[in-house]
Amino acid sequence: MSRISDFFAGFRHLGKGFSFLFSHPSLWIWVLIPWTIALLMLAVSWGLFVYYYPDFYQFLLSHVGLGELVRNEGFWAALGFAGLWTLKQILKLFIFLLGLVFLSILAFVAYLILSAPFLDLLAEKVTLLVQGVEAPPFQWGRFFKSLGQTLIVESKKASLFLIFPLLLAVLNFIPVAGGALYVVMTFLFGMWTLGFITADYPMGHQLIPFKERLQWAKKNKYTLIGFGIPFLIPFAPLLLQAPMVVGGTLLYHSIALRILRNSNSGL
Whether 208 is covered by a domain: the verdict is yes
Whether 92 is covered by a domain: the verdict is yes
Distance CA 92, CA 57 (A): 8
**Which H or E run contains 243?**
helix 236-265
**34-43, 82-91, 157-166, 242-251, range with greatest mean pLDDT:** 242-251
Distance CA 84, CA 74 (A): 11
- Helices and strands per DSSP (H, E), number in the chain: 11, 0
pLDDT value for 172: 62
Whether 46 is covered by a domain: the verdict is yes
Distance CA 232, CA 184 (A): 11
pTM: 0.72
Helix axes 73-130, 236-265, angle to 10 degrees: 60
Whether 267 is covered by a domain: the verdict is no
Is the pLDDT at 65 greater than 60, yes or no? no
- Range of the structural domain that residue 207 is part of: 3-260
Instruction: Return the closest-CA partner of residue 64 out of 109, 99, 89.
Output: 99
Give residues with Cβ within 8 angstroms of 84, minimum separation 6.
76, 77
Whether 266 is covered by a domain: the verdict is no
Query: What are the CB-based long-range contacts (under 8 Å, 24+) for 198-201?
Result: 198/227, 198/228, 198/241, 198/244, 198/245, 198/247, 198/248, 199/224, 199/227, 199/248, 199/249, 199/251, 199/252, 200/157, 200/248, 200/252, 201/119, 201/120, 201/123, 201/124, 201/245, 201/248, 201/249, 201/252
Under 8 Å between Cβ of 160 and 205: no
Burial category of 71 from C-beta neighbours within 10 Å (exposed 0-12, middle 13-18, buried 19 and up): exposed
Whether 77 is covered by a domain: the verdict is yes
127-184 confidence digits (pLDDT tens): 988 887 655 555 555 555 555 666 666 666 667 666 766 676 666 666 666 667 777 8
Whether 265 is covered by a domain: the verdict is no
9-44 confidence digits (pLDDT tens): 999 999 999 999 999 888 888 888 888 888 888 888
Whether 78 is covered by a domain: the verdict is yes
Total structural domains within the chain = 1
